[in-house]
Amino acid sequence: MSRPPSDTQNIRTGGGPRGPGAMHGIRIEKAKDTRGTLKRLATYFAPFRRQLALVAVLIVVGTALNVMGPFLIGRAVDAFGDRTALVRVSTIMLAAFVVQWLAQFGQNYLTAAIVQQALRSLRQDLFEHLQMLSLRFFDRQTHGELMSRLTSDTEAINRALIMGVTQLISGLLSLAGILAMMALLNVWLTLGSLLVIPLMLLLTGSVAKHTRQSFRDLQSRLGQLNGMMEETISAQRVVQAFGQERTVLASFVRANKAVRQSGIRAMTLAYLVMPMMTVLSNAHIAVVAGLGGWLVLRGMASVGMVVSFVNYARRFAEPLRQLSSLYNSVQAAIAGAERVFAVIDERPELTDKPDALSLEKVCGEAAFDQVDFGYDKSVPVLEDVTFIAQPGQTIALVGPTGAGKTTIVNLLMRFYDVDSGAIRIDGHDLRSLRKDSLRRKMGMVLQDTFLFSDTVMENIRYGRLDATDEECMAAARLANAEQFILRLPHGYQTELSERAGNLSQGQRQLLSIARAALSDPAILILDEATSSVDTRTEVRIQQALLRLMQGKTSFVIAHRLSTIRKADLVLVINGGRIIESGNHEQLVARRGFYYNLYMSQFKGTGLQETELAPAQAIKEAVARA
């Protein structure tokens, strides 16, 4: 039956394995609503209206003093020979430069503080929303792509805002102020200057409009590269075990080449404006200097006035260069913001109803009533699954890989909703219950357990965050874990490495059992909890599991059928259907599918215990033996 590559991994990480170094096709989105995106970004700055008003005042003051600089230089030139006037103008210039520096420092400091506060809120909203999304969303996304949205995209917004808020306002004010001062000084020189200005504006507009798609393409391909690297690094043991270093390197080279090509296109467009603007700026200065010299010879302008105009002409290009550079940064920021908001706008497929009930006390009855389900609705994984687990019973799920065993526990945990039929806990349809209250009553122990980079104590406490140290230690003793914990360098305070790489598989399993025990679930799910450990460790884990299962409704998925002989009910699943049910003795006596599975393991036919073959394959293996 079709299903995501690994149901168990879907529970652990929200996404099936995709193969180390595989490239993931991510559709490059087109801009949908630039104005709407900017409006949404603006809402994150709404709480800082007063600070923004102060920034605006400082920008106006700093820009005005900056615009006055060339005018004062011209006055100083004209005052040459008049010591008193020269000292007065020089003093005014010095004071203006000092105040301008203070205003610029203040606006930069306030802008940085405001932007960081706003981005903190944006990142928090994004991360918080990710916690609300259903597993089906994570099935479609690579981890690296989501990390890219949390880091690279928000950093693109940060860069644009830190540079852009002040540059945008000061650039526009500078342009307006320079034109106004030029017009006040000399109309003819101003008209001469205006001959070059339209060319500058046309250049900026024509080049900048092509940059946005290039930056979006670059960021999407960076997300793909991040996803590939994250996956490959996580799977490095598998890569080396199968000698696939060259394969993943080839995948990286392809992804890296795509990023390089996108980066070249984006950066070429981004920096194309600068040299062309420099040429036009020099042409502008030449026009002003030539026309100004002619006016001086005619007695229509003073030398100081021409000096002021040349300075204004030189400064006029600077705001345009800043604005063109800012435009490129804004394109990257808008592209990043669109990707961030695309995740925030993603609606959870599983939501609590307004009148959803909260489970306070659970007896432990679990019933599947004609359940149909498919991860892709066009490809069914479970069909007409019906059974009842009575409180305190142990239910074993057996069958070939891909039969749908883990899908059943996925649905029981309500990681997904059924396509048809119903699942009930103590008579309550799961869709009528609050997800958090449901999952607090359930515990899971998986084959490949996940532990966090934190202390042993905190990893156990993850089962119930308000638990005391004594309760965590009691859970560790119940799980047979305290013996090895006390031998660690710092006991319960030992820091675990990433994914608990400094512990053995069995030790990680025991900590996972302790974590589940601390949560004191009414319903317990054990998915291949002992299939990856040695026999001695398995005995310890089995002892811990038996203590943990006492009085709880337990669902056990195990390929080693010897571990489920005492189960109250065994459900044999094949092709998404329950084909046999009963206890171990009843099913063996029936000499059907389960009997073949059990006998194939018992007689040592050579079949791997970690993957049960269908009945025909078993018969062929028995015949060969």
Considering the domain boundaries, does residue 226 fall inside one?
A: yes
pLDDT, tens digit, 9 for 90 and up, residues 88-125:
888 888 898 899 899 989 988 898 888 889 888 998 88
Tokens of 75: 């006055």
Measured between its terminal Cα atoms, the distance across the chain in Å is: 29
Separation between Cα atoms, residue 595 and residue 586, nearest integer Å = 10
Considering the domain boundaries, does residue 173 fall inside one?
A: yes
Separation between Cα atoms, residue 252 and residue 221, nearest integer Å = 12
- pTM for this structure? 0.64
pLDDT of residue 478: 86
Considering the domain boundaries, does residue 199 fall inside one?
A: yes
pLDDT, tens digit, 9 for 90 and up, residues 205-220:
666 666 666 777 787 7
Considering the domain boundaries, does residue 518 fall inside one?
A: no
Considering the domain boundaries, does residue 384 fall inside one?
A: no
| Number of domains the chain is built from | 1
pLDDT, tens digit, 9 for 90 and up, residues 60-80:
898 888 888 877 877 787 777
pLDDT of residue 17: 33
Domain around 220: 44-344
Of all residues in the chain, the percent with pLDDT exceeding 90 is 17
pLDDT of residue 38: 83
The answer to whether the beta carbons of residues 56 and 94 sit under 8 Å apart is no
Residue 31 has pLDDT above 70, yes or no: no
Tokens of 120: 């903190």
CATH number for the domain harbouring residue 188: 1.20.1560.10
pLDDT, mean of residues 476-491: 89
pLDDT, tens digit, 9 for 90 and up, residues 388-432:
999 999 999 998 888 899 899 989 988 889 999 999 999 999 999
Separation between Cα atoms, residue 154 and residue 335, nearest integer Å = 10
Considering the domain boundaries, does residue 230 fall inside one?
A: yes
Considering the domain boundaries, does residue 92 fall inside one?
A: yes
Considering the domain boundaries, does residue 170 fall inside one?
A: yes
Which of 578, 556, 559 is CA-nearest to residue 567? 556
pLDDT of residue 373: 93
Average pLDDT, the chain: 79
pLDDT, tens digit, 9 for 90 and up, residues 361-374:
888 899 999 999 99
User: Per-residue DSSP letters for 558-588?
Assistant: -S-GGGGTT-SEEEEEETTEEEEEE-HHHHH
For the chain, give percent helix, strand, coil, nearest 5. Answer: 65, 10, 25
